[in-house]
Amino acid sequence: MPYKTTVWTVDNFEQISEKNTQLIQASLWIKKDEVVAFPTETVYGLGGNALSDQAISRIYEAKGRPSDNPLIVHIAEEGQLKELAAEIPEKARILMENFWPGPLTIIFPKGIKVSSKVTGGLDTVAVRMPDHPVALAFIKACGVPLAAPSANLSGKPSPTSAGHVFDDLSGRIPGIVDGGQTGIGVESTVVDCSVDGAVTILRPGGVTKEQLEEALGSEVGLDPAFTEKEAAPKSPGMKYTHYAPDAPFVLVDGSREFIQSLVDKARAEGRRAGVMTTAENEKFYNADAVIPAGERSRPETVAAALYDTLRTFNEAKVDVIYGEVFPKTGVGYAIMNRLEKSAGGNIVAENK
């Protein structure tokens, strides 16, 4: 049924608590097994009771998301993990101590209370504790762990503001907790700790491989899947095309001159062309829309601006978008993971 989507604005969120009137109002919907969008330090999530099949079904319905794509469960206190995980491996415990609250999702063996709809039918569950005062206070107000994928229509760029959520889901969900712009801008890193003695990154994100290895004092693996071929993905973002703007997005591994030549060719064919670049290169390009996503010298700014930039191209009404590539180091690995999925494998290399 269509909803009149309410927006609950939360001010002074650094001092926010679960007793905040706006959060209490929003939490009433969660207690009815409905869904509510809320901010985290990465992107906005679409939350529903992780222990309720009905609530999880509503998440999939609102997003238009395939039900075999597992969801991440968000908690506010470590005690809630007992309801979710059958056990906590030692390396998972080390990562929790170092990175929770924060943009790290850990995959555990699943406990008996977790809805199978959350896990995509798997025997593991993905859990994180967000580092955002509004998120933590809202989860506490709800009184249950919240399964919460990004609060966007499936396949669209993830939302980093309440306005993005409203654009995608107005009329599809009861409400949005508006806690302002998110900070990190790309989703959490997902690591699998469900296999004894091994830690593997399933999705790069706000916590880097280097940071994980420093905390553990040992090497962390990279899952070779990171593809659309995984039959039963353990992590969100491993199976389907994501983060796509309205126009076809082409990722270009080449010089600025090569990118400009692609723009010129498209415009000669009568197509409006856009370039996704950085502040350092913005003035170089001549296109119908040139939009910088942060600064190349500070990749964390690129990550923070990435999804907002992709959505801005929708307003520019271009027919094709060409995007620059970034080094796969640190947070650059997460940036490239998202850009490659935005392009749906449409990557052009100058030397080929």
Residues contributing to the annotated binding site for ATP: 65, 69, 124, 150, 158, 203, 243
Binding residues for L-threonine: 42, 74, 128, 148, 188
CB 95 within 8 A of CB 215: yes
With H, G, I as helix, E, B as strand and everything else as coil, classify residue 191: strand
Burial class of residue 283 in the structure, from the number of CB atoms within 10 Å of its CB (0-12 exposed, 13-18 middle, 19+ buried): exposed
Q: How far is CA 191 from CA 95, 132, 242, 330, in A?
A: 10, 20, 19, 15
Indicate the DSSP class of residue 107.
E
Indicate the DSSP class of residue 233.
-
Describe the chain by its helix, strand, coil percentages, rounded to 5: 35, 20, 45
CB 169 within 8 A of CB 153: yes
Binding residues: 42, 65, 69, 74, 124, 128, 148, 150, 158, 188, 203, 243
CB 109 within 8 A of CB 98: no
Residues in the chain, total: 352
Beta-carbon contacts of 39 under 8 Å, excluding residues fewer than 6 positions away, are 45, 132, 134, 135, 162, 177, 178, 179, 180, 182
Q: How far is CA 19 from CA 16, 101, 167, 178, in A?
A: 8, 20, 29, 16
